[in-house]
Amino acid sequence: MTPYIADLLDYCTGPACDVYFQRAADTLAGAGLDPVVTMEYFGDRAGVLCGMADVLDLVRRSLGGGGEVWSLDDGAAMAAREVVMRVRAPYSRFGRLETAVLGMLASCSGWATAAREIVEAAGGKRVISFGARHVHPLVGPIMEHAAVVGGCAGCATPLGAERAGLPGASGTMPHAMILVFGDTVRAALAFDEHMPDDVLRIVLVDTFKDEAEESLRVAEAMGERLRGVRLDTPWERGRVTVELVKEVRARLDLAGHRHVGIFVSGGLDAERVRQFEAAGAPVDSYGVGMAISAAPPIGFTADIKEVDGEPRTKRGRLPGVIDNPRLQRVL
């Protein structure tokens, strides 16, 4: 059973915390030790920083108004080993947060960095995150928010959109709905009838017939109300290709449906998007899933650098704070 998280701070300092931090806390308390320490946090490779807003919320609550905190903002470009946060406070006030802080920054920065690469590959065209189906539902909206921080224009889940400050989630119809109707045009017309006007009329056209044929059928049935068609051809049929996109565009244009956009999804990653763009494929927007949601995390580390003002750290690291003029005092 998935535990219900009544309070995130309690969860992150208790059952979701590496047990050795709790054992360290008990040992230090028993020995009567609670020095003011300075701890610095950094990643092992360059990327887009993400997860910091959630981290700072936890740290502020844990410190209870005491201590000092400096950080970079979500969305900032970061270099490998650049200090992205510094905390100075009694160790007992925040030491058990290390597992949660590192995990939040690692996963979210990995997702945001992957999203940024894909968005840059798209050359200014909209990229929508469709990756929530590839992760645990407790994680999906957090991943979607990170994708938006990385530059995605939208995401599929309402909570992800809410966290990202978007007016709503992106998405129209699944194959399942079209299969239940038994005909793409019937499904499209019913969707048009029952959905509010603020929902984009973008119709999947790869369920039953040739994509170009289905695009024309839907365009003729819906006329000006059709905003676009989505090509999501599975790998069993060769996936979406540059040639297919160009054919659909040409046939729509010849039939007078130049207003209908083309949305491409299905197994896309940065390299495939670059190939579409290099070939001049007339794609209006891209939907990307696993290339974002399965992105490798950026490994973050937390090091104590000072203990009661004395420079002190583990071997291999430099004792004393590392200057980073980009850090801003946030607490």
Of 1-15, 84-98, 160-174, 187-201, least confident by mean pLDDT is 1-15
The answer, yes or no, to whether residue 1 has pLDDT greater than 50, is: no
* CA proximity to 285, closest of 178, 200, 225: 200
114-293 has which fold? TIM Barrel (3.20.20)
In angstroms, rounded to a whole number, what is the distance separating the alpha carbons of residues 267 and 274?
A: 13
Region 155-166 average pLDDT: 96
In angstroms, rounded to a whole number, what is the distance separating the alpha carbons of residues 261 and 61?
A: 47
Region 191-206 average pLDDT: 97
Q: What is the pLDDT of residue 3?
A: 52
The answer, yes or no, to whether residue 270 has pLDDT greater than 70, is: yes
The answer, yes or no, to whether residue 4 has pLDDT greater than 70, is: no
Superfamily of structural domain 8-109+298-329 = nicotinate phosphoribosyltransferase (3.20.140.10)
Q: How far is CA 234 from the centre of its chain?
A: 24
Quickly state the pLDDT bin for 161 (edges 50, 70, 90). very high
Q: What is the three-class DSSP state of 322? A: coil
Q: What is the pLDDT of residue 6?
A: 72
Domain with CATH 3.20.140.10 in the chain: 8-109+298-329
Each residue's pLDDT tens digit, 107-119: 999 999 999 999 9
